[in-house]
């Protein structure tokens, strides 16, 4: 009876992930896409988007839900990109200058967002979404009127021809651009890249275990998964799937460093304060924690990391939709982390990465499935936007249902209290 209950509880907690796995499998079969194409696109999309999804973890742990205001961090990155293109600083140098510019701008934005969200405790997700829309209006004013008009831009292609304001699309692929600046520093074929990352992950996990920052069970599970992946690529059929894949090693190393940062910071005093505030603000305040300050720091971290993630996103694409590239950042990243099994009160690196993988796998195959079933690939495009909003809605409903169930179930309350303790 207990096993049935635990299985049912697991399914309920991970229902979004289970549904997405089924959707991905069905859409892949219907799409007619080859495994090699899907693998190549998936690695590219993970390199492009994983960092942004991981930037959502700290505010969730701090009890602020999904920070949809990471859109504002993306705006900070786009301001930096514009000026790097204006100054014509190419390659990795331009990327690093953009990163150095993004950090202080996003820090300021994050501080202001945190101050405002502290005024709307309990409504942070709605508040951050509204702030994103408001900030977008100011962004439009900045790029349509101030840049290129009050502040002149002299580099060709940055200003709307015959008018003022920044051009709709910024091309970063020229000799003075930063297209693939990070991705092209070092790339490997899939199998050698897998061996490299398997070795690095093993070293990190062993160090974390020796420092008592992870459990033996988790170490064994991770090593078993890595061993299975290494063995799998030895088979010719599997090797053929990944034959065309080039892995941007430096980009994934940066993603790995963010994963390590998320683990390490949660072991520090600040990380413990994030957890305490996320579990119960009243208790945290009684324990002497400055709740408002801790929440602001969490939002600053998230906004800065999202800005850096958007730089990675933009350099991977090689072009920037000036007035639209930032708009869906919060929505898609929020949906992705929920797909991985996270909730609006709990998230981990594994859930963020799994969610990014499943979410973008569906993006790859859903257009082909729409073309097969309805004769129109655009149906698939509409479907994935619907899915993004739907996943967030389901997560909110599940969170409300869980809260009500715990209030009605004394045993659940005791389990929750023991987990917090």
Q: How far apart are CA 337 and CA 353, in angstroms?
A: 8
What pLDDT sits at residue 421? 43
Q: Which residues of 26-45 are buried (b: 16+ CB within 10 A; e: fewer)?
A: ebbebbebeeeebbbbbbbb
Question: Is 90 exceeded by the pLDDT of residue 345?
Answer: no
Question: Is 70 exceeded by the pLDDT of residue 409?
Answer: no
- The pLDDT confidence band at residue 414, using thresholds 50, 70 and 90, is very low
What pLDDT sits at residue 420? 46
- The pLDDT confidence band at residue 8, using thresholds 50, 70 and 90, is low
What is the percent of the chain where pLDDT is above 90?
Answer: 42
Average pLDDT of the chain?
85
Give the pLDDT mean for 68-88: 92
Cβ contact 243:293 at 8 Å? no
What pLDDT sits at residue 112? 93
Greatest mean pLDDT among 33-47, 144-158, 383-397 lies in: 33-47
Residue 160 phi, psi dihedral angles, 5° rounding: -60, 125
Cβ contact 337:125 at 8 Å? no
Is this model's pTM higher than 0.75 or not? yes
Give the pLDDT mean for 127-152: 86
Which token pair is 136?
């977008």
Give the pLDDT mean for 376-393: 70
Q: Which residue has the higher pLDDT, 239 or 107?
A: 107
Q: How many CA atoms lie within 13 A of 273 on its CB side?
A: 17
């Amino acid at each position: 009876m207990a096993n049935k209950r635990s299985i049912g509880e697991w399914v309920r907690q991970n229902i979004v992930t289970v549904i997405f796995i089924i959707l991905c499998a069905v859409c892949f079969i219907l799409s007619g896409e080859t495994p090699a194409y899907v693998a190549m696109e998936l690695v590219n999309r993970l390199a492009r988007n994983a960092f942004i999804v991981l930037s959502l973890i700290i505010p969730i742990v701090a009890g602020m839900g999904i920070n949809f205001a990471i859109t504002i961090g993306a705006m900070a990155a786009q301001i930096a990109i514009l000026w790097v293109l204006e100054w014509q600083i190419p390659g990795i140098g331009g990327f690093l200058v953009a990163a150095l510019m993004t950090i202080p701008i996003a820090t300021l934005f994050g501080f202001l967002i945190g101050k405002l969200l502290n005024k709307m405790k309990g409504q942070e997700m709605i508040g951050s979404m509204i702030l994103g829309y408001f900030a977008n209006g100011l962004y439009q004013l900045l790029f349509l009127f101030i840049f290129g008009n009050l502040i002149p831009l002299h580099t060709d292609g940055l200003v709307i021809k015959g008018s003022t304001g920044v051009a709709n699309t910024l091309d970063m692929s020229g000799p003075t651009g930063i297209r693939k600046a990070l991705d092209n520093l070092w790339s490997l074929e899939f199998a050698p890249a897998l061996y490299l990352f398997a070795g690095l992950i093993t070293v990190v996990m062993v160090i974390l275990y020796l420092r008592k920052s992870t459990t033996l069970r988790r170490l064994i599970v991770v090593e078993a998964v890595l061993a299975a992946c290494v063995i799998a690529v030895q088979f010719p059929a599997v090797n053929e799937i990944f034959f065309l894949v080039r892995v941007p090693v430096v980009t994934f190393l940066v993603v790995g460093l963010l994963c390590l940062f998320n683990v390490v910071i949660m072991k520090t005093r600040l990380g413990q304060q994030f957890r305490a505030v996320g579990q119960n603000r009243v208790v945290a305040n009684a324990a002497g924690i400055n709740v408002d300050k801790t929440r602001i720091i969490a939002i600053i971290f998230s906004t800065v990391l999202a800005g850096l993630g958007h730089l990675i996103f933009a350099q991977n694409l090689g072009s920037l939709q000036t007035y639209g590239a930032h708009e869906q950042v919060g929505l898609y990243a929020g949906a992705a982390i929920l797909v991985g099994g996270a909730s609006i009160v709990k998230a981990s690196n594994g859930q963020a990465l799994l969610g990014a993988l499943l979410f973008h796998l569906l993006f790859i195959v859903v257009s082909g499935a729409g073309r097969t079933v309805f004769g129109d690939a655009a149906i698939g495009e509409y479907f994935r936007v619907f899915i993004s909003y739907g996943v967030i809605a389901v997560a909110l409903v599940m969170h409300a249902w869980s809260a009500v169930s715990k209030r009605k179930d004394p045993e659940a309350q005791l389990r929750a209290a023991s987990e917090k303790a």
